[in-house]
Amino acid sequence: MPELYLALLDRILTPILFVLAVVFLIVGHNEPGGGFIAGLVVATAFLMQILARGDDFVRKLIGIYLQPTMGAGLIIAIFSAVLSLPEGGFLYGVWWKIPLGGDFVLEIGSPTLFDIGVFLVVSAFVTSYLLELSRPATGKRR
C-alpha cells in the first residue's frame, strides 16, 4: 500500500509545510515569499493530506470552511483597501510602527493585511479545486 509511505510523509511534511506557509507570509514583504506563495504552500499541504488520507477526510476536516475563507479573504482585502481612505485613497499603503521593546520595531501596514487576504483566497481557492477534482467520479466512495 503506497498510502502507508504517504501517511508517514504526511505526518512529517504537513506541519512543516504549514509552518513554512506562515513564514512565507510573514517574511514575504522583504524576502522571497508572500501571500500568493504561502497560499500555494497551504494548498500543497492539503494535497498531501488528500493523497495520504483520502479526500473524504480532508473534506470533513475543512470542507465547509473553504468558501467562507475565500469570502473572508476578499473582505479582508477590501477592508485593507478601505482602511487607507482617510490617508490618501483607495488601496493607498498605510504603515504603522509598533515598538516591541529594545531595538525591535514591528512595521505593519495595509499591504500586509491585503497580503493576508490574498493568502486566504488563494489557499482556499486551490484547495477547493483539489477537493472537488479528487472526489470520485462515480457515486461510489472509496
Residues 32, 90: contact at Cβ < 8 Å? no
4-63 residues in contact with another protein (CB under 8 A) are 28-37, 40-41, 43-44, 47, 51
CA 139-71-66 angle, 5° bins: 35
Question: By CB under 8 A, what part of segment 78-137 binds another protein?
Answer: 78, 81, 85, 88-93, 95, 107, 109, 111-112, 114-115, 117-118, 121-122, 124-126, 128-130, 132-135, 137
Q: What is the separation of C-alpha 95 from the centre of its chain, rounded to a whole number of angstroms?
A: 23
CA distances from 1 to 6, 9, 52 (A): 9, 14, 11
68 binds another protein (CB under 8 A): no
Interatomic CA distance for residues 81 and 84, integer angstroms: 6
Shortest CB 64 distance to another protein, Å:
13
For residue 30, give the 3-state DSSP assignment: coil
Q: Which residues contribute to the site for another protein (CB under 8 A)?
A: 28-37, 40-41, 43-44, 47, 51, 67, 70-71, 73-74, 77-78, 81, 85, 88-93, 95, 107, 109, 111-112, 114-115, 117-118, 121-122, 124-126, 128-130, 132-135, 137, 139-140
